Amino acid sequence: MGDGKGIPITSCPSPVTPHPSPQRGVVLFITLIVLVAMTLAGIALVRSVATTTLIAGNLSFQEGATMSGDTGIESAVNWLEINSTGTNLFQNNLPMGYVAAKQDPAVGQTWDAFWANQLVPAGQVLTLAKDAAGNTVSYVIQRMCSPTIPQPFAPTSVGANCASSPTTVGTSGGSKGAGAIQIQTSDQTYYRITSRIVGPRNTVSFIQAIVAM
């Protein structure tokens, strides 16, 4: 086409308005999902770290309570040593946490339930002052003898059935002509000391020791 003067006229195409790509909305949606997932992962990580710290703290308190239980054991042993002469240990001394016969939890009963439901109501537990770490130590001493005979009774009494070390230990010698060698030992009665420790964060721990005197 010309303008009558021999000059061709070129027609200009009309401008085209670009349409937004539908993929932009999909990318935004995926980005939001990723952000939500990362947020949830971050929250889970924070909770996991907090739980781990709490568990570590509880284990530390448990260990501290168990170590404090040695105070109860040492206090009980000291009392036994002081009262080991004469007939002091032939009968109960409940204010000092001493029982002249053994007691055990029932079948299926925990020591904590046995302690709370039987020993404490019977006044058989001695509680020490709270230590600097906030642990309260209590203990009971039980002579490992039968509870079926009336008190007072000596460990050698009929029916006492006290757990004790043997008075004579026989060993065989290496020579055929030497015969058996008899080793004489003193007769000792066994006592069981049970210590219960209550610490911070409701920490409860038990330790036991058997001593012979």
pLDDT string in tens for the chain (213-residue length): 555 555 555 555 555 555 555 555 667 777 778 788 888 877 777 776 656 655 555 555 566 666 777 888 999 999 999 998 889 999 999 999 999 999 999 999 999 999 999 999 999 999 998 888 788 889 999 999 999 999 999 998 998 999 887 755 555 544 445 555 555 555 789 999 999 988 877 788 888 999 988
Domain boundaries, the chain: 23-173+183-212
Q: How far apart are CA 56 and CA 52, in angstroms?
A: 6
Tell me how far the alpha carbon of residue 151 is from its chain's centroid: 36
Determine which helix (DSSP H) or strand (DSSP E) holds 124, and give its type and residue range.
none
Task: State residue 194's pLDDT score.
Answer: 93
Place of tokens 């710290």: 53
Task: State residue 37's pLDDT score.
Answer: 80
Task: State residue 96's pLDDT score.
Answer: 94
Q: How far apart are CA 197 and CA 103, in angstroms?
A: 19
Place of tokens 């040695």: 70
DSSP H helices in the chain: 23-82, 111-114
Asked if 120 and 113 count as a contact pair (C-beta separation under 8 A), the reply is no
Place of tokens 């670009």: 18
Task: State residue 2's pLDDT score.
Answer: 52
Global pTM? 0.66
